[in-house]
Every structure is written in structure tokens, then in C-alpha cells.
């Protein structure tokens, strides 16, 4: 069962990487068109992911969310959701 779910998830990841483009051929709005004009040519999807993982608050959020999930069970999932909510509240203050 887990192999099927893993296989489907891997297939979907491969399809997303292949099908999705960096930008659409035509911008969906004037604001997006202006955004494309102002964006530097070296900005990329991979660069934004790298920038995201260099953000300390995001890394702490990922660690906080994933740590309680190691034991499994419903209680751990509820605890993880509470941690995420608490972390997001901390970020807003």
C-alpha cells in the first residue's frame, strides 16, 4: 500500500517538473506583466526554493512541524498541527 502511494506521489512530482513552465506565454494580468518586466533575468524557481530554505523562520517551522510526526498516531498529528498554528502566530507578532 505504501509503495503505491509513494509511486503515485513520485509520478505526480515528475509530471509537475516536466509540465509546469517557469512563466506562462502570456501574462494573466497587467500587474503580472509589469512584474515580469521588473524581475531580474537570473530569478528562477530553483532560486526561490533555495532562498526559502535559507530563511530561518521557514526552517524552524518545518522542523517544528516534522518533529512530532516521527512517532505517528493521531495524538502526534494533533500536536503537529498545534505547533504549526503556534509558529504561524509567533511569525505574525
Range of the structural domain that residue 14 is part of: 1-25+42-66
DSSP string, the chain: -HHHHHHHHHHHHHHHHHH--SS-SS-SSHHHHHHHHHS-TT--HHHHHHHHHH-HHHHHHHHHHHSGGGS-SHHHHHHHHHHHHHHHHHHH-
Residue 49's pLDDT band, with cuts at 50, 70 and 90, is confident
CB neighbours (10 Å) of residue 68? 19
Q: What is the pTM of this model?
A: 0.36
Q: Write out pLDDT tens, residues 5-28.
A: 889 999 998 988 888 777 777 878
* In a domain? residue 62: yes
Report the domain count for the chain.
1
The answer to whether position 33 is within a domain reads: no
5 located within any domain: yes
Amino acid at each position: 500500500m505504501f509503495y503505491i502511494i509513494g509511486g503515485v506521489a513520485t509520478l505526480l512530482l515528475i509530471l509537475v517538473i516536466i509540465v509546469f513552465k517557469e512563466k506562462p506565454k502570456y501574462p494573466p494580468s497587467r500587474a503580472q506583466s509589469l512584474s515580469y518586466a521588473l524581475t531580474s533575468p537570473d530569478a528562477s524557481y530553483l532560486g526561490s526554493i533555495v532562498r526559502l530554505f535559507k530563511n530561518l523562520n521557514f526552517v524552524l517551522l518545518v522542523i517544528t512541524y516534522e518533529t512530532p510526526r516521527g512517532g505517528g498516531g493521531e495524538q502526534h498529528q494533533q500536536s503537529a498541527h498545534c505547533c504549526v498554528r503556534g509558529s504561524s502566530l509567533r511569525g505574525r507578532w
